[in-house]
Structure 1
Amino acid sequence: MYSSRSSAEPVSAQVDAGRDGDGTTRERVLQLVVEEGPISAAALGRRLDLTAAAVRRHLDAMTEQGIVEIKNVTSRRKGAGRPSRRYVISQEGQQVLGDDYLGLARRALDVLGDAVGDEAPRALAEAYFAGHEDRYRQHLAGIDDLDERAERLAELFSEDGFAGFTRKVGRDNPLLAMQSTQLCQGHCPVREIAEAHPVFCEEETEMISRLLEVDVRRLSTQAAGAHVCTTHVPVGRERLAAEQRARRSASDAPQDPTTRTASAGSRLSGGRKRIVISPRQQERLS
């Protein structure tokens, strides 16, 4: 459940007013909330080397402005107490971070959609992400490791205003297939459009799959109400498949001639296996 307090003063004015000596620290707090929310004040303090009281002062100010929301999280541990407070970016905060001309673009797409159907939004989504894909592919060239490709793609997303980052999942699991990476985006510059036209999320997911050269699965999107867009990258499954391919290639490779001779010598003509009987066994058989 989310809760927030609003203020009559416009958010943009409040943010500009907050850019005093604490402005840089507040921006760092907000950036971590965007990237790692839901996150507690204590966790923020540890990451930024600040006291919990100092962090809460910034969080309280941004909550008052409506930039940040409080999410009450209940622990899964048996016998856990009351829910703990976690902080996430709000929809109003997303707008503060930047949604260029989204209202106008959304209205234009609605009009085009009414006139020509779903082809217009899909064509625009394809064109929008095609430009990103061409640039990203150049930066990913030569990076073979899937984890490294996902990490680099997250950096490229950040450079374009998507606040990209990755999370490693299941790395302590002995089953390689259970290990994965989550490619996350803490901000979506086209969220308002994607809310009305989910094809933007679909096209972005397909772009990620092509860039990483692996089937990915979308776990959440901001357009659907989540605070972070999350894409599942099956790193462990791909590594397991690569190991299996390598073993098959090794088994199919031509054997050393001496090995084949020794193996053939262990069999009699006609393909029957040679049976060696010890003297003791001969006595028992006689």
Structure 2
Amino acid sequence: MKIEAEVQATTETAGQGPGGAVAAGSSLAAEAASGHDTRHAVVRLLMESGSITAGEIGARLGLSAAGVRRHLDALIEMGDAEAHAAASWQQVGRGRPAKRFQLTEAGRGKLGHRYDDLAVAAIRQLRVIGGEDAVVDFARQRIDAILNNVAAASADGDLEATAERIAGALSEAGYAATTARVEGGVPGVQILQHHCPIANVAKEFPELCQAEQEAMAAVLGTHVQRLATIADGGYVCTTHVPLTNRAGKAGAVTRKH
């Protein structure tokens, strides 16, 4: 089977046998090893990775090719995951690019959205009572509370380190955030939110996404650009922080306290 071949090739490349275990200390691998939590571990990996190959899933979780295929087939059949062709820049080595798998909107919708209807109704009422400014203030206070303990970047500070601290605070709030260095185009670091616990609410109230961007800019002390959001149909909320200069610093929004 094609998926089995991809899994075996990836694990062997990583210096493991076809059924070898991944490095100790991996929480996802430990979760997969517990048996009944394997499906949940696969879903978490799809969420945190944005998109990933079957071989990478096998290598990260220590699963056999047959095991990976079984879980991916089940998730696809339920409509929770989908496969797509890899982009040219995602190809590693020669040969035909391996398929990549990612959660669908329906799959993401099953992750931590239990009180969306209540939240939407509450913010609608807030808008009726206090107007648009009340919604904007609420959105900003919410993200400021999440980033409250993140030390702001100094004038000559390390933006990449500050971005990592922001990602850490977002992860603690349920966003499964990471950072990635980008060298092409405008060099920078990207803050990647692989999950959004308020995505369904933000579809109606984009003020929540705008407030996140403004709060990040304030902590970083420089202009940032939102390239994609899960609320708008993206698979990852992506915020680009340019490292070439800090010319946008003067235009950064001041944090509210």
Q: Structure 1 length as normaliser, TM-score?
A: 0.64
Whether the 8 Å CA contact 1:74–1:84 is kept in 2: the answer is no
User: 2:181 & 2:44 partners in 1: Cα distance?
Assistant: 20
Q: CA offsets per residue over residues 180-218 of structure 1, 9 Å max, x none?
A: 111100111111111001111000001111122221110
Check 1:136–1:89 CA distance in 2 against 1; reply closer, same or farther (3 A cut).
farther
Deviation for aligned residue 1:114:
4.9
Q: How many residues align?
A: 212
Q: Does 1:188 align with 2:202?
A: no
User: 2:225 & 2:212 partners in 1: Cα distance?
Assistant: 11
Instruction: In structure 2, list runs of 5 or more residues that go unmatched.
Output: 1-31, 247-257
Give the corresponding residue for 1:276.
none
Whether the 8 Å CA contact 2:54–2:100 is kept in 1: the answer is yes
Give the one of 161, 165, 169 matched to 1:152. 165
User: 2:77 & 2:226 partners in 1: Cα distance?
Assistant: 32
Whether the 8 Å CA contact 1:179–1:237 is kept in 2: the answer is no
SS of residue in 1 equivalent to 2:169: helix
User: 1:187 & 1:101 partners in 2: Cα distance?
Assistant: 16
Aligned counterparts, 1:23-62, within 5 A: 23-62=36-75
Deviation for aligned residue 1:71:
3.2
Check 1:237–1:60 CA distance in 2 against 1; reply closer, same or farther (3 A cut).
farther
User: 1:38 & 1:132 partners in 2: Cα distance?
Assistant: 26
Instruction: In structure 1, list runs of 5 or more residues that go unmatched.
Output: 1-18, 239-286
Report % sequence identity: 36
Q: Does 1:129 align with 2:137?
A: no
Q: Structure 2 length as normaliser, TM-score?
A: 0.70
Give the corresponding residue for 1:277.
none
User: 2:36 & 2:70 partners in 1: Cα distance?
Assistant: 12
User: 2:105 & 2:199 partners in 1: Cα distance?
Assistant: 9
User: 2:187 & 2:238 partners in 1: Cα distance?
Assistant: 16
Q: Does 1:214 align with 2:222?
A: yes
User: Over aligned residues, Cα RMSD in angstroms?
Assistant: 3.2
Deviation for aligned residue 1:61:
2.2
Structure 1 or 2, whichever has the larger Rg, is: 1
Whether the 8 Å CA contact 1:70–1:87 is kept in 2: the answer is yes
User: 1:29 & 1:88 partners in 2: Cα distance?
Assistant: 10
Whether the 8 Å CA contact 2:86–2:98 is kept in 1: the answer is yes
Whether the 8 Å CA contact 2:150–2:165 is kept in 1: the answer is no
User: 2:147 & 2:140 partners in 1: Cα distance?
Assistant: 10
Give the corresponding residue for 1:109.
123
